Amino acid sequence: MAFYVVQFLTGLASAASLFLVASGLSIIFGVTRIVNFAHGAFYMLGAYVAFTLTERFSGALGFWGGIVVAALAVAVIGVLVEMVLLRRIYHSPELFQLLATFGLTLMVEDLAVLIWGPDDLVGRRAPGFKGAIDFFGQNIPSYDLFLIVLGPVVLGVLWLLFQRTRWGVLVRAATQDRDMVAALGVNQKWLFTSVFALGVFLAALGGALQIPRDAVNHAMDLRVIVEVFVVVVIGGLGSIIGAFVAAVLVSELNAFGILIFPKISIILVFLVMAVVLIVRPWGLFGKPEAPARRTPGLTVNPWRPLTMNERFAAIAVLVLAAALPFVAGNYLLTVGSEIAIFVIFAVSLHFLMSVGGLASFGHAAYFGLGAYGVALLAKMAGLPMIACLLLGPLLGLMGAAVFGFFAVQLSGVYFAMLTLAFAQIVWSIAFQWVSVTGGDNGILGVWPEKWAASPSHFYWLSLGIAALAVVILRIIVFSPFGFALRATRDSPLRSEAIGIDGKRIQWTAFVIAGTVAGLAGALFAYLKGSVFPDNMGISLSVDALVMVLLGGVETVSGAVVGAIVYKALNIWLVSQTDWSKLVLGAFVVLIVVAFPKGIVGTLEALMHRRRKSSSSVSPLLTSRIESAE
């Protein structure tokens, strides 16, 4: 019995830190409508800075002062980020905001390694809370008791802040209707900045307070952000009470889940989240989101199938690509195969994201499932390569069918957060279920059969499948189903009113995208000869997002160009620098801020403008002018 009580208290102590971070995220979202992906990065920075300060300054004052100063210092960094970056993208589509803050996260990860080194740092214990308290023979660290008290205290302080101060009233008003608050003459700029500062302060404080419990490392940002996303999805984005209740719930589920499913405890949290999402899609304490505002600057040019000339051009490019083995060496061919595989991956995400309007932040899960599908079939069942390539992606299909069902119940940022959480769950299973997946060691020795083994043959195989995937997805885009999917994205209200079951359409699209991603993963497993948990990691999901954005999210074929450019750049970059995340992150931020239309989108806009200026005023417009007179 005492053991369970202690387990319960440990859970409560973990909840405190989680609550701080989640409430910060919620407050920022409530006012600015930005889901701050970089929240985990600020949490991590809080921990690192606090580590440095508490090591430098001794004594109780040094420790507690260090923690508070660290949180304040990170809050100042947060203010700078808000002023320099976020102010530029408040009016961008939410996908771009998520992506920009994600780019920031990547940069911070590399910067943390650069400053503090790659090793785990173990901080000192908290003065005054070094010991443990005996509870019927079980030890409870007294620091845990401190955290258990701290959580509700912070909740109370936040409550007072929002209920009893003028600033708090403004924040609550802005959470309800920020346009109205602006219309009433409140200086929104500084309201947003101060809210962001408070949110970042809470995240950094949450990180700093973890030092006595956990080692500081440069992967803690992603771990916490996934947990925080789960917390806010359960509790309801924008609700502080919700963040508290859900933080306790998730922490307790983790604490007791370990006892029930020691290997895959995260399953329990997932199940609870799934139930909450079915019963209350906007979270326990959240409010249903108003339908997303129309994204400004969305395509005015309707999509069209390629003209005859464009088709010939595409075939010519394909023939040229197929001739590569006659001029290039083995290394280049391997790079070419990899690029072809990522073209498949990128177009699958593009289909979901641009056609369906569903920006998945965890698309790598289905890529990875396809790869593991192949590896398991080849190694365990010993099936021939063709059979593996055909059946392996079915694992991606099944994963997409299960997760997609839940994910399409949501939209916008909730969808993004949920897909990310799902991908993390799949990743953890691959990582933890060592007996089947080999855990961190992966599954080795997945080599193609003789007929596809040579680099040139494998290149042709990849290129052929990539061309096929692109063509098939294009056909689907212009099929009745593709139009129904776009209709659901354009106007859920209208599509429902003409008999379209939007959720079923989106679910089908999710499954199609997941299967195609699985196909890419299956080829990837053969290309590398092995699979690892990282084949379904977050950075791979982001790679796909960046490829789509780089090519142009509002174009039909941007993803192909984006994948080729990005992958070539990435392979080259990794060979040139150790700080690829830093460069990549900066690159992502740059695209979002400077080139939101992407390569193909920008080209199209340029061509469109030239066509417009060359042709005289359209007859339709003239007739309209006449009738107006």
Partner 1 sequence: MSMVPTLLSVEGLTKSYGGVHAVRGVSFELRAGEILALIGPNGAGKSTCFDMLNGQNIPDSGRIRVLGAETTGKKPRVIWRMGVGRTFQIAATFPTMTVRENVQVALVSHGGQLFNLWASTARHARDEAGRLLDLVGMGAYAERPCGELAYGDVKRLELAIALANQPKLLLMDEPTAGMAPRERVELMRLTARIAREQSIGVLFTEHDMDVVFEHADRILVLNRGSLIAEGSPEEVRGNAQVRAIYLGEGLVYDARHREGASA
Angle at 24 between CA 216 and CA 191, to 5 degrees: 130
CB of 513 to partner 1, least distance (A): 13
Provide CB contacts within 8 A for 590, sequence distance 6+.
none
**Least distance to partner 1, CB of residue 492, Å:** 9
DSSP 525: H
Q: Which of 9, 505, 522, 548 binds partner 1 (CB under 8 A)?
A: 505
DSSP string, 104-144: HHHHHHHHHHHHH-SS-B--PPPTT--SEEEETTEEEEHHH
Residue 203 and residue 20: Cα distance in Å, rounded?
A: 6
From 206, 256, 212, 207, select the one nearest 123 (Cα to Cα): 212
Residues 596-625 binding partner 1 (CB under 8 A) are: 620, 624
If you ran DSSP here, which 8-state letter would residue 531 be given?
Answer: E
- Helix (H) or strand (E) run with residue 443 in it: strand 443-444
Q: Which of these ranges, 64-72, 233-241, 319-327, 470-478, lies near partner 1 under the rule CB under 8 A?
A: 470-478
**Rounded least distance, CB 491 to partner 1, Å:** 5
Pick the binder of partner 1 from 498, 575, 616, 626 (CB under 8 A): 498
Residue 501 Cβ vs partner 1, minimum distance, rounded to whole Å: 6
Contact string 418-457 vs partner 1 (x = CB under 8 A): ----------------------------------------
Instruction: Give DSSP secondary structure letters for 464-511.
Output: HHHHHHHHHHHHHHTSHHHHHHHHHHH-HHHHHHTT--HHHHHHHHHH
**Of residues 471-490, those binding partner 1 (CB under 8 A):** 475-476, 478-484, 486-487, 490
The one among 179, 190, 499, 616 contacting partner 1 by CB under 8 A: 499
Cα separation values, 48 from 116, 174, 535, Å: 8, 33, 28
167 near partner 1 (CB under 8 A): no
Supply the minimum distance, in Å, between the C-beta of residue 490 and partner 1: 4
Which C-beta is closer to partner 1: that of 294 or that of 610?
294
Nearer to partner 1, 194 or 491 (CB): 491
Taking the CA atoms of residue 137, residue 15, residue 418 and residue 75 in that order, the dihedral angle to the nearest 10 degrees is -140
Token readout for 39 is 């929240």
Q: Minimum CB separation from partner 1 for residue 353, in Å?
A: 14
- Kindly state the smallest distance separating residue 486's Cβ from partner 1, in Å: 7
Tell me whether residue 121 or residue 605 sits nearer to partner 1 (CB atom): 605
- From residue 276 to residue 305, the character string flagging contacts with partner 1 as x (rule: CB under 8 A) and all else as - is ------------------x---xxxxxx-x
For the chain, how long is the longest CA-to-CA vector? 92
Selected binder of partner 1 within 57, 501, 572, 612 (CB under 8 A): 501
In angstroms, rounded to a whole number, what is the distance separating the alpha carbons of residues 527 and 567?
15
Size of the site for partner 1 (CB under 8 A): 34
Separation CA 29–CA 624 (nearest Å): 44
Residues 506-545 vs partner 1: string with x where CB under 8 A? --x-------------------------------------
Q: Enter the tokens of residue 141.
A: 């660290």
Burial 389-404, CB ≥16 within 10 A → b, else e: bebbbbbbbbbbeebb
Closer residue to partner 1, CB minimum distance, 341 or 505: 505
In whole angstroms, the minimum distance from the beta carbon of 314 to partner 1 comes to: 17
Yes or no: say if 424 and 226 are a contact pair by the CB < 8 Å rule.
Answer: yes
Q: Which stretch binds partner 1 (CB under 8 A): 158-166, 211-219, 500-508, 600-608?
A: 500-508
Residues in region 344-363 near partner 1 by CB under 8 A? none
Identity of the residue, 290 or 594, whose beta carbon is nearer to partner 1 in the bound complex: 290
**227: number of CA atoms within 13 Å, CB side?**
28
Q: Which of 314, 500, 573, 593 binds partner 1 (CB under 8 A)?
A: 500
Q: Which is nearer to partner 1, 279 or 497 (CB)?
A: 497
Residues found near partner 1 in the complex (CB under 8 A): 294, 298-303, 305, 475-476, 478-484, 486-487, 490-491, 493-501, 505, 508, 620, 624
